[in-house]
Amino acid sequence: MDLNFKLHAKQREVFMSDARYKVCAAGRRAGKSYLSAVILLIEALKEENRYGIPLRGKEVWYVAPTYQQARDIIWGVLKDLGQGVIQTVHENTSTMTLINGRTIKLKGSDRPDTLRGVSLAYVVLDEYAFMKPEVWDMIIQPALSDSRGDALFIGTPSGKNHFYDLWMEGAADDEDMWESFHFNSLDNPLISSEELEMARVKMSADAFRQEFEASFEAAGGGAFTSDDFKYADEPESPGSVYVAVDPAGFGKGEGMVKSNLKRLDECAIAVVEVGTDGWFIHDIISGRWGVRETSLQIIRAAQKYKAAAVGIEQGALKNAIMPYLEDQMRRLNSYPRIEGVTHGGQKKTERILWALQGRFQNGRILMKKDSSWNKKFTDQLLDFPNPLAHDDLPDAVAYIDQISTAIYDHGWVESTYEPLDEWSGY
């Protein structure tokens, strides 16, 4: 077999890792496609994996957001690099068979049903930030299970969405299952600093950091900016405190897969004091809990801050919470007012923008200074309205607009009090 390739230092770091799942954030033209092609060919030439499992009949896939993207990005690189080990190439299906009889196929994640029903040995998911997370969670990961196959997630960041979640998981993993890597465009010795400087001049700072420096910190949405965020120790004027809850599907504790759990929506509980000068966010509690724990978190927040009302999004999840919440209220002898809140016929994006954007831009929302939730909340706002990024915390805070209005506005008309008897006063 004749397969010659040369990797730069950062590419070698990824290639040499023994982690089963590798997550690589890389800048444009940093060598992602070349590295992916090398790994695909090496993996397809193996007869068995590290566990001694035979790989005959187990396919190797390259998956991009669309099939045409897969062809454009890597097909030519694969054919050029694999000339000495390719037996046949089928252009109409983008399938190549190597000299050992194993195959490499190109796929698009935009047609998830075409990805089902296959046993896989290795998968590269390129530009994973632009795929739906269900493609990995529900289709690709199960297809790797019988061979205990490996995967490489690689691409340029697009805000802090599910790709960021995976990258953070790899950075925190101490069990050698996941490992994260980062390299920017300048790590590729073939890219000149002059060319990058030309791009820097033409692009916005955020766009350059995201595209060439592979930064997750660059804002992915554009509806909010860091200049909008104001912090304080206390509210400027006293008001009534409201709790708003954006429920999520309830975790089951045992049996939840760690990697899947992190990318699912979380339940978010916002605690906001509404006064004449605006809103003061005291706290945002978030997590993926079972229904009993969720109800306890809600009642604790209402008790601690003496909430005038608790608003919970209407629907099946509210119906599931209520019996547990009523049990908690009886047990703790605390009975906050529970109000159902709805989308009001608005899309989530419109509802969040309507409730929060103007208030933030006009300085009418303050956040409790140095709180543990500050960064998570502002990160989600900076990514909003990226459809692939989390927005659980902004969604909960946005419901405050509805719950506080519902409590204040009862449609009453107050008349001036006039005593019947000026001496007695009534």
CATH code for the domain in which residue 268 is found: 3.30.420.320
Within a domain: 324 = yes
Is the pLDDT score of 324 beyond 60?
Answer: yes
User: Quick one: 142 and 289 in the same domain?
Assistant: no
Distance CA 227, CA 121 (A): 47
User: Quick one: 205 and 250 in the same domain?
Assistant: no
Average pLDDT, the chain: 83
Q: Which residues are CB-contacts of 2 (< 8 A; sequence separation ≥ 6)? A: 84, 85
pLDDT of residue 191: 62
User: Quick one: 332 and 188 in the same domain?
Assistant: no
**End position of a domain, from candidates 177, 211, 245:** 211
User: Quick one: 173 and 320 in the same domain?
Assistant: no
> What's the pLDDT band for 106 if we cut at 50, 70, 90?
very high
pLDDT of residue 254: 33
Q: Encode 372-418 in three state secondary structure.
A: CCHHHHHHHHHHCCCCCECCHHHHHHHHHHHHHHHHHCCCCCCCCCC
Number of domains the chain is built from? 2
Task: Please give the structure tokens belonging to residue 74.
Answer: 């890597």
Question: In this structure, how many other beta carbons lie within 10 angstroms of the beta carbon of residue 162?
Answer: 23
> What's the pLDDT band for 9 if we cut at 50, 70, 90?
confident
User: Quick one: 193 and 276 in the same domain?
Assistant: no
User: Quick one: 108 and 61 in the same domain?
Assistant: yes
Percent of the chain with pLDDT strictly greater than 70: 80
Within a domain: 413 = no
Where is mean pLDDT largest: 33-42, 155-164, 173-182? Answer: 33-42
Give tens-digit pLDDT for 336-358. 999 998 876 678 888 899 899 99
Residue type, 61: W
Q: Which residues are CB-contacts of 356 (< 8 A; sequence separation ≥ 6)? A: 224, 365, 381, 394, 397, 398
Give tens-digit pLDDT for 28-67. 777 888 999 999 999 999 999 998 999 998 999 999 999 9
**Virtual torsion, Cα 73, 75, 81, 83, nearest 10 deg:** -170
User: Quick one: 26 and 126 in the same domain?
Assistant: yes
> What's the pLDDT band for 424 if we cut at 50, 70, 90?
very low
CATH of the domain at 77: 3.40.50.300
Within a domain: 380 = yes
Residue type, 420: L
User: Quick one: 268 and 402 in the same domain?
Assistant: yes
pLDDT of residue 214: 54
Within a domain: 424 = no
Within a domain: 24 = yes
Give tens-digit pLDDT for 260-319. 444 457 899 999 999 999 999 999 999 989 999 999 999 999 999 999 999 998 888 889
Give tens-digit pLDDT for 368-406. 999 999 999 998 898 787 765 788 999 999 999 999 875
pLDDT of residue 77: 93
Distance CA 82, CA 98 (A): 9
**Site of tokens 């109000």:** 339
Within a domain: 421 = no
User: Quick one: 189 and 257 in the same domain?
Assistant: no
Quick one: which of 424, 6, 48 has its CA closest to 189? 6
Is the pLDDT score of 11 beyond 90?
Answer: no
User: Quick one: 261 and 365 in the same domain?
Assistant: yes
Within a domain: 389 = yes
How many helices and strands in the chain, by DSSP H and E? 16, 15
Give tens-digit pLDDT for 190-230. 565 666 666 665 555 555 655 565 556 555 567 888 889 99
Of residues 137 and 172, which shows the higher confidence score?
Answer: 137
Within a domain: 219 = no
User: Quick one: 251 and 187 in the same domain?
Assistant: no
User: Quick one: 200 and 231 in the same domain?
Assistant: no
Residues spanned by the domain of 230: 226-408
pLDDT of residue 16: 92
Q: Which residues are CB-contacts of 133 (< 8 A; sequence separation ≥ 6)? A: 162, 263, 388
